[in-house]
Amino acid sequence: MNKKNVSIIGVPMDHGQNRRGVDMGPSAIRYAGVVERIEDLGYTVKDEGDIQIGQADGSVEEHTNLRNLKVITEATEALGAKVFEVAEAGNFPLVLGGDHSIAIGTLAGISERHENLGVIWYDAHADMNTSDTSPSGNIHGMPLAASFGLGHEQLTHIRGYSPKVKPENIVIIGARSVDPGERELIKERGIRVYSMHEIDKMGMNAVIADAIQYLKEERRTDAVHLSLDLDGIDPLYTPGVGTPVPGGITYRESHLAMELLFDAGIITSAEFVEVNPILDEKNRTADVAVALIGSLFGEKLV
C-alpha cells in the first residue's frame, strides 16, 4: 500500500450469474465518489475506463453446464491483460465489478508477476464450484477454483498458464454459504477459512491478525490480492447484491478489517465486486464499497 499511483479498472459484466444489473456496479461505485475518496488520501488516481464486455444470451456450453462461457473467457482475458499492464507500470490495480467471475481475469493478470501470490477472499461464498459441482452453472461461483486450476480449461488457462494461486496461499473470510462440493474441496486442499463462526468467536481483530500471520509466515507469499464481494457483508448494510446471505460481517467489522490490512501493508492489488444498483437502496451498497476502499487505502477518523 506504499504505492501512491492507483489505476481503476471497471468491469461492467453480469454474465457470470442470472440477476441483471451488476454490470452497472462500476458506474455506481464511481458515482459514489471512489476517485475523489482515494485522491483525498494523497494518491494519484488514473481511471483506466471499462473493459469492453460482449453480448451474451444466457446459453449453456454444450457438454457442460457453464453459462456464458465464451463471453466470460473473452472478458477475463482482456481484464488480465489490462491488470498486468497497469501493475507492470508500477500502479496499484483497483478493479471494480461486475460479478465475481471477473476475479478469474484479475488474478491472471496479477499472479503472472509473482511466484507466490496470496489471496484474501472476503465473501459469504467460497466460489470454488466447477461445472461438476455447481447447482446453477453460474461462473461467478467458480473463480477461486478456476484460479487454482480446477474447472474448464478456458477458465483455468486465462493468460495461458495455470494455476494462478496455490490453495495454501488462500484465506477466505466471512464464509457462511458453502456448497457440499466446496466443503470437500476446502478439506482436501487445506484451504484456510474463517467462517462467521470464527469471526463471532475470535473477533475480527484476531481473525485478520491470524490471516496476516498465516500469509506471511515462512515467506509463504510475495504479494497479496484482496477480492472483496459486497455480499460478504451483512445485507442489512449492503442490500444491493445478487446473492445476499443474512448473518454476515458488520459494517464496522469490515472497516476494521480494511484498516488492519492497510496497517499491515500487505495488499498489493484489490477488487470490489457484486454491487447491483437495481437491487440497491439509494446507492447504499456502492457507498459502503467506497467507504471500505477508503479504509483500505489508509483513511482514518483522526
User: Where residue 284 sits, what CATH number does that domain have?
Assistant: 3.40.800.10
Tell me whether residue 108 is in a domain: yes
Does 263 carry a binding-site annotation?
no
Close Cβ partners of 59 (under 8 Å, ≥ 6 residues apart):
67, 68
How many CB atoms are located within 10 Å of the residue 18 CB? 13
Q: Nine-digit cell at 297?
A: 487505502
| Residues of the domain holding 150 | 5-296
Tell me which residues are annotated as active site: 100, 123, 125, 127, 140, 229, 231, 274
Does 100 carry a binding-site annotation?
yes
Tell me whether residue 302 is in a domain: no
Low pLDDT (below 70) residues in the chain? 1-3, 61-63, 302
Does 63 carry a binding-site annotation?
no
Query: What distance in Å separates the CA atoms of residue 226 and residue 93, rounded to the nearest whole number?
Result: 11
Split into its structural domains, the chain has a count of 1
Tell me whether residue 135 is in a domain: yes
Tell me whether residue 301 is in a domain: no
The answer to whether 32 and 287 are in contact (CB under 8 A) is yes
State pLDDT tens for residues 242-282: 999 999 999 999 999 999 999 999 999 999 999 999 999 99
Does 152 carry a binding-site annotation?
no
Within 13 Å, how many C-alpha atoms sit on residue 234's CB side? 13
Rg (alpha carbons) of the chain, rounded to whole number: 17
Residue type, 279: L
Residue 1: what pLDDT?
A: 54
